[in-house]
Structure 1
Amino acid sequence: MELTEYIIIALKIIVGLSILNVWLLQAHKPTKWRGGNNVESIIKEFEAYGLSKKFCYVVGFLKISFACLLIASVKFEYLTLIGSIGLMTLLLGSVIMHFKIKDALYKSFPAALFILMNVVIIYFSL
């Protein structure tokens, strides 16, 4: 394998595990990256965006699913574009919501970084 292939595998694992961490392990914990002011969970963050709890569950299901597909794509390459484009689309929505409620710019950084990582994954997967 070439160095590029190792880098893409690393990016897939980093992005996938990071999304799973946020949505499964950190979902009910406050972090400085959450949208809104002093929100303590993802559900409260979605409320700060003016979005419903049901919508939060739909987005969570999709993000977890796409993250799992991205991780699985290390072995099953044909899953790469589905997982990566799906996550990139949802992460773009995250950045837009941060701007919508006029969050500090740094709160958009993780989503923007993961968008960039997905762009690299997609580019080298085509």
Structure 2
Amino acid sequence: MYHRVCIATFLVCLGINPAFSQHVPEASGSEVAQHPADASDSSNVASGKATNAANRALGRKVRQALAKSQGVNVSNVVVRARGGAVTLTGSVPDSTQIDKANEAAKGVAGVKSVENKLTIMQQ
């Protein structure tokens, strides 16, 4: 095992990554070798940006719903949204606010699930 680590370290020092190295044939003439995924990279970037924008918008909607709900202090609450799944993290002054925040988040259009990781603030 020690010898494998030494060899791997040596190869990394030479700029060769032993775990991820691949042989890529060189293109002849004016041809350019392309990875199959390169053709769809621009559409992936566009859809990724749209997904990120939708996640941010949903997170804002949930945050607004929490702020509007009576009896929830959102000053220490972080909202993350990803594909309709919302995660609430941070702390609130008491346990009733944890339940209220959970219900408020579930009531927002587009929310598929809520993972509530809120804790009670230490006094």
Q: Give the TM-score of the pair, scaled to structure 2.
A: 0.31
Considering fraction of residues, name the structure with more strand: 2
**Is the radius of gyration larger for structure 1 or structure 2?**
2
Q: Higher relative contact order at CA 8 Å, sep ≥6: structure 1 or structure 2?
A: 1
Considering fraction of residues, name the structure with more helix: 1
